[in-house]
Amino acid sequence: MSTRLDVKKTYKLFIGGKFPRSESGRYLPAKSPAGGQLDNFAHASRKDFRDAVVAARAAVDGWSKATAYNRGQILYRAAEMLQNRATELVNEIARSTGVSAAKAKREVTLAIDRLVHFAGWTDKYSQIFSSVNPVATSHFNFTTPEPTGVVVVLAPDEPSLLALVSLTAPVILSGNAAIVISSEKFPLPAATFAEILATSDLPGGVVNILTGKRGELVPHIAGHMDVNAIVDGAGVPDISVKLQAGTAINLKRYAKHSPAPADWFTAKVEDPYWILDTVEFKTAWHPIGV
């Protein structure tokens, strides 16, 4: 009697709404906590990162010009799609990280709720954080937040899905496009999430997800001149130092969010002030009576 071998899935990158293979042809094995091979995932290269920046830059114009209400609808739709594939994601998290099915289900449920939470902020954050400023001349003076552009998001290893969603949603809701560097240790939940985004209404390029080794990409992230901001949730001191050194040279915005793994499951990370990490405040003057 012959023995049949399982066909291991090979997860690709998610760039511009498509699933390209890494241009380098490199793949890495995803291991279970017991050391067994689960599947394979793409090992993103410098060229892959550059392609993701190009895709994100192309997406910013249309996404930022969409109405706040429409962006909220699209994020809500992503939450719907995530809910439809919740069982698959629960299994992916459990087999990748070794947590119980109950804890994996809690993580997926909170990821859905977190998307809904930030979807509700798309048409509210501008009202709350804008201002009409008192000035000493006969002018109206308004300050309003606008998206900064292309943002790189580095996700921590744990929790692999919930942290990624919690970091990415406040970035894109204002009209930015994101390049997300997934958990290096547990990349499969992020790769599955990419498949979910591809079937939602999110325009291609608004979220791009790269898997592989963070350390190889960090110098290129820090030095790329068409990246406007970095949200660092990796929680790795050496990476933070390198990223901040790069932002000092080309004046990227840098925000660090690295709560303890348990804190990602709390309301602490639903802070609307995280939205302000990747917006710029623009002030307009208009003469009164004209």
For the residues 252-261, what does the mean pLDDT come to? 93
Grade residue 285 by pLDDT with cuts at 50, 70 and 90: confident
Residue owning tokens 């094995």? 29
pLDDT of the residue at 135:
84
Write out pLDDT tens, residues 137-151. 888 888 889 999 999
pLDDT of the residue at 35:
86
For the residues 217-223, what does the mean pLDDT come to? 93
Please give, one letter per residue, the 3-state secondary structure of 17-47.
CECCCCCCCCEEEEECCCCCEEEEEECCCHH
pLDDT of the residue at 225:
93
Length of the chain: 290
Q: At the top level of CATH, which class does the domain 10-287 belong to?
A: alpha beta
Which of 154, 139, 238, 182 lies closest to 42, judged by CA? 182
For the residues 206-212, what does the mean pLDDT come to? 97
pTM of the model: 0.92
Q: What angle do CA 80, 188, 22 make, to 5 degrees?
A: 110
For the residues 183-204, what does the mean pLDDT come to? 94
Phi, psi of 190 (to 5 degrees): -65, -40
Grade residue 247 by pLDDT with cuts at 50, 70 and 90: confident
pLDDT of the residue at 81:
95
- Percent of the chain at pLDDT > 90 equals 80
Which residues, at least 6 apart from 169, have a Cβ–Cβ distance to it below 8 Å? Answer: 75, 114, 115, 117, 118, 119
Strands 150-154 and 229-232: parallel
Write out pLDDT tens, residues 18-69. 999 998 889 999 988 888 889 999 999 999 999 999 999 999 999 999 999 9
Do 232 and 239 contact (CB within 8 A), yes or no? Answer: yes
Do 212 and 221 contact (CB within 8 A), yes or no? Answer: no
Phi, psi of 226 (to 5 degrees): -105, 15
Cα–Cα distance for residue pair 151/120, rounded to 1 Å:
21
Cα–Cα distance for residue pair 286/116, rounded to 1 Å:
37
The alpha carbon of 39 is separated from its chain's Cα centroid by a whole number of angstroms, namely 23
On the question of pLDDT at 5 being above 80, the answer is no
For the residues 224-234, what does the mean pLDDT come to? 95
| Single-letter residue type at 117 | H
pLDDT of the residue at 1:
59
- Percent of the chain at pLDDT > 70 equals 99
Residue owning tokens 């929680």? 235
Cα–Cα distance for residue pair 198/147, rounded to 1 Å:
23
Write out pLDDT tens, residues 67-95. 999 999 999 999 999 999 999 999 999 99
Strands 27-31 and 37-42: antiparallel
On the question of pLDDT at 166 being above 60, the answer is yes
Do 173 and 151 contact (CB within 8 A), yes or no? Answer: no
Do 219 and 242 contact (CB within 8 A), yes or no? Answer: yes
